[in-house]
């Protein structure tokens, strides 16, 4: 049995504090979870300052590995949940994954305790 299923990686970059909305929306749409990392933005909407001192805006980067057939629904759910069609709210994109390892939780039911 081929345990490797075709997967995509959805990368979502949003303002600090918005990652939970991304995770909740993606889970509701069929994802099993995600990984949150911190980053900083340098885009056109990132130029902010306080008393003339530039601020480097903090961002949250959410990595979500999903099955290819669920990608469109999960991406749409993320897009709606964090208003990605609004300027400055963030960005999401999809990368096709050739291989994955360590995702046995998506194949087996581990709900029973040993």
Could you state, in order of their start, the residue ranges of all structural domains in the chain? 7-106
Going by the DSSP 8-state scheme, the letter that residue 62 receives in this structure is E
What is the H or E stretch that residue 9 is in?
strand 7-15
Q: Is 55 left (phi over 0), alpha (psi -120 to 50) or beta?
A: beta
In the prediction, which pLDDT does 1 show?
Answer: 34
Confidence grade of residue 48 (pLDDT, cut at 50, 70, 90): low
Residue of higher predicted confidence among 111 and 73: 73
Going 77 to 81 to 87 to 92, the CA torsion angle's sign is negative
Please provide the average confidence, as pLDDT, over all residues in the chain: 83
pTM given for the model: 0.78
The pLDDT value recorded for residue 76 is 98
Domain boundaries 7-106, corresponding CATH code: 3.30.70.120
Residue 51 pLDDT greater than 90, yes or no: no
């Amino acid at each position: 049995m081929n345990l490797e299923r075709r997967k995509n990686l959805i990368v979502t970059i949003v303002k600090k504090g918005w990652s939970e909305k991304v995770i909740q929306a993606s889970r509701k749409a069929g994802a099993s979870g995600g990984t949150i990392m911190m980053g900083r933005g340098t885009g056109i909407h990132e130029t902010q300052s306080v008393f003339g001192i530039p601020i480097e805006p903090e961002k949250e980067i959410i990595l979500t590995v999903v099955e290819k057939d669920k990608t469109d629904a999960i991406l749409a759910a993320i897009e709606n949940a964090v208003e990605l069609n609004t300027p400055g709210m963030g960005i999401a994109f999809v990368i096709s994954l050739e291989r994955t390892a360590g995702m046995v939780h998506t194949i087996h039911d581990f709900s029973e305790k040993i």
